[in-house]
Chains A and B, each alone.
Chain A
């Protein structure tokens, strides 16, 4: 285990900041371009995804606005949004900051050895309802555990910590 700053590149030559930055750029494009069906592919099969608030996070309260521990549950979330739930047409524009790499460790991966990286990335999300109101919908940070295996980076865990406890109207699309 290494405190970062001391090891910008892994033993496989992958720069974790680059790998994570690339993965996150595609992650937000996937949501913002309404290709939600591809969103679960950013996660490992067994994973954790939770949207919570800074207050809950600080108090160690475990529930989420969205809560999943398998990729299947993420797929179900998308299916529900497509087929079941009613909400006004809307889209997001994610603006993400640089990932801060907090910790790296060797880990098992499907190809043998990989690296698990903990990172934190700040985000802002603008929500556009219909073609109309454009609101700053959420700010917060992604607390992530990435599995980096060669050039690919998959999320083992993403806890979306929203700074405010308040959600305007409803939260339909994932953050």
Chain B
């Protein structure tokens, strides 16, 4: 691919970042220059960003518009059956090529001056290229093939379409690593997803506060009472954390522990999760084994901004997009599978209550980042402390750890090129 030249900004070497992974400076959530550099170095850099599902491009001619960071991207399926992605920006004067979220097209014509692109993003026609009556028009040396939006590198994993704006990104298998690939395959392998609904949440906080929250298995059954009370997720369940070598990707999972039933660890902690609560209609929790094992929760993240979740039978992907220093777009796509029985589909719809902007176990995540964003105002020189479970960013059998949050910061500071210094 041409014109995919990797990071478009130099490392932020004049910024000092703590050597210890257990310290995070609050200015990272507040600084406009940092956000600018994140776009240039991370979202435009040698990383893979989730674009859409192959299932959303079922037929040749189907397209959807999405983003890598702030960059608008158009993803298509051409008549050859292949998926293509290119910048959603006309090569002429920069207008959006496609405006709808999704649709079906033979080609794309920019509304501004009718420059036309095929489904692979090649410029195929320029209105009045030869002028009218021998007057006007483009210069004779104008070459259609020399103009066009940049085409992304693409990779597909179990129906998830990832794109990159950098030729320096390693192949997706190498990028994700064997363990993460295996856990994606566990949920999506061998079956075709069906989109059950799409919802967008506008979060009042920096995008990294949401990423931290996703990776934070420590908070899950403390902040989210609904989980704990109904045994969907307790830290005393069998489970663990996988942190990949880069630190940037993680998997947190828990399974029914058929041998243990101790609640003693919990009741001694004086946390809110122990209050009395029961459901009038518990049918929502009558789930089925999602893929034939005992795992009832698997949260998987891919650096910089992708999440695949299985919470009981609620399967969804989430796309995290920065929109300002203190504002983030979170796109939820709820999934079923074409192999679902009617009863399984009903369970998934009932369990859509668990997740999303109104989710019983995710509602709090919509506001907690805002509480931090407001809490750290005026404290850019202070640090968050991430010492739970040590100071490393490695896999662990305990989920009472911030290892995967530290992992994110490890990958992040590497990507940003800060100068490390003991603070």
B281 within 8 A of A: yes
Q: For residues 48 through 80 of chain A, which have their beta carbon under 8 Å from a beta carbon of chain B?
A: 51-53, 55-56, 61-70, 72-73, 75-77, 79-80
Chain B residue, CB-CB nearest to A164: B200
Q: Is the CB of B202 within 8 A of A61?
A: no
Contact B226 A73 (CB under 8 A): no
Contact A76 B363 (CB under 8 A): no
CB of A4 within 8 Å of the partner chain:
no
Q: Which of B196, B353, B366 is the one whose CB lies under 8 Å from A61?
A: B196
Q: Are A84 and B226 in contact (CB under 8 A)?
A: yes
Residue of A nearest to B204 (CB): A169
B198 engages A61 (CB within 8 Å): yes
Interchain CB contact under 8 A, B199 and A169: no
* Cα–Cα, bound, A73→B346 (Å): 14
Given contacts A62-B196, A65-B199, A170-B363, contact A84 B277 (CB under 8 A): yes
- The residue of chain A having its C-beta at the shortest distance from the C-beta of B279 within the complex is A76
Q: Which residues of A contact B225 (CB under 8 A)?
A: 83-86
Task: Return the contact of B201 from the options A56, A61, A87, A170 (Cβ within 8 A).
Answer: A170
Q: Could you tell me which residues of chain B, from 352 to 397, have a CB within 8 Å of some CB in chain A?
A: 352-353, 356-358, 360, 363-364, 366-368, 370
Check if A168 is an interface residue, CB within 8 A of chain B: yes
Prevailing SS type, chain A contact patch: mixed
Assuming the A-B contacts A80-B226, A85-B364, A169-B366, are A65 and B196 also in contact, with contact meaning beta carbons closer than 8 angstroms in the complex? no
* Contact A56-B360, Cβ < 8 Å, known A86-B367, A88-B367: no
B96 CB–A CB distance under 8 Å: no
Whether A166 sits at the interface, judged by CB under 8 Å, is yes
* Residues in B whose Cβ lies below 8 Å from that of A63: 196-197, 334, 348-349, 352
| Complex CA–CA separation, A80 to B279 (angstroms) | 9
Chain B residues, Cβ within 8 Å of A52: 197
A169 touches B367 (CB 8 A): yes
Instruction: Enumerate chain A residues within 8 angstroms of B229, measured Cβ to Cβ.
Output: 84
Q: Given A63-B196, A65-B199, A86-B367, A55–B204 Cβ distance below 8 Å?
A: no
Answer whether residue B350 sits at the interface, using C-beta atoms and an 8 A cutoff: yes
B174 at the interface (CB under 8 A from A): no
Could you say which residues of chain B place their CB within 8 Å of the CB of A109? none
Interface size class of A (residues with CB under 8 A): 35 or more
Contacting pair B363 A85 (CB below 8 A) = yes
Chain B, 233-292, CB within 8 A of any chain A CB:
275, 277, 279-281, 283-284
Check if B367 sits within 8 Å of A168, measured CB to CB: no
CB interface residues, B 178-210, toward A, < 8 Å: 195-204
**B197/A167 in contact, CB under 8 A:** no
Q: Which listed residue (A88, A165, A172) contacts B198, Cβ 8 A?
A: A165
A51 to B101, CA, bound (A): 21
When distances are taken between beta carbons in the complex, the residues of chain A under 8 Å from B284 are: 73, 76
Q: Which of B101, B199, B348 has the most A CB atoms < 10 Å from its CB?
A: B199
Residues on B with C-beta less than 8 A from A67 are 349-350, 352-353
A171 interface residue per 8 A CB criterion: yes
The answer, among B279, B358, B360, for a CB contact under 8 Å with A51, is B358
Known contacts A72-B280, A84-B229: A169-B197 contact under CB 8 Å: no
A residues in contact with B34, CB < 8 Å? none
> Chain B nearest CB: distance from A46 CB in Å?
11
Asked whether B400 is an interface residue with its Cβ less than 8 Å from the other chain, the reply is no
Known interface pairs A52-B197, A80-B360; A170-B353 also in contact (CB < 8 Å): no
CB distance from A144 to the nearest CB of B (A): 19
- The residues of B that contact A169 with a CB separation of less than 8 Å are 201-204, 357, 366-367, 370
Give Cα A52–Cα B332 distance, bound, in whole angstroms: 13
From B199, B203, B352, A53 is in contact (CB under 8 Å) with: B199
**Cross-chain contact B367 with A87 (CB below 8 angstroms):** yes
B364 touches A166 (CB 8 A): no
Q: Nearest chain B CB to A73's CB is how many angstroms away? A: 5
Chain A 118-154 residues near chain B, CB threshold 8 A: none
**Beta-carbon nearest neighbor of A86 in chain B:** B364
Tell me the smallest distance from the CB of A131 to a CB of chain B, in Å.
16
B residues near A61, Cβ cutoff 8 Å: 195-198
Report yes or no: B202 in contact with A70, Cβ–Cβ below 8 A. no
**Please, which residues of chain B bring their CB within 8 A of the CB of A55?**
101, 198
Q: Which residue of chain A has its CB nearest to the CB of B314?
A: A63
Hey, which chain B residues are within 8 Å of A88, CB to CB? 367
B223 within 8 Å of A (CB atoms): yes
Please indicate the chain B residues that have their CB under 8 angstroms from the CB of A62 in the complex.
196-197, 349
The CA of A61 and the CA of B204, in the complex, are separated in Å by: 27
CB proximity of A146 to chain B, nearest CB, Å: 22
Contact assessment for A170 and B366 in the assembled complex, using a CB-CB cutoff below 8 Å: yes
Report if A85-B226 is in contact (Cβ < 8 Å); known contacts: A70-B281, A169-B201, A170-B367.
yes
Beta-carbon nearest neighbor of A40 in chain B: B280
Interface 1/0s, chain A 153-164, versus B by CB < 8 A?
000000000000
A76 CB contacts on chain B under 8 angstroms: 279-281, 284
Binding site for A on B (CB under 8 A): 101, 195-204, 223, 225-226, 229, 275, 277, 279-281, 283-284, 334, 348-350, 352-353, 356-358, 360, 363-364, 366-368, 370
Binding site for B on A (CB under 8 A): 51-53, 55-56, 61-70, 72-73, 75-77, 79-80, 83-88, 165-172
What are 5 contact pairs spanning A and B, CB under 8 A? A56-B198, A63-B197, A70-B281, A73-B350, A170-B357
4 tightest A-B CB contacts, nearest first: A63-B197, A72-B281, A170-B366, A72-B280
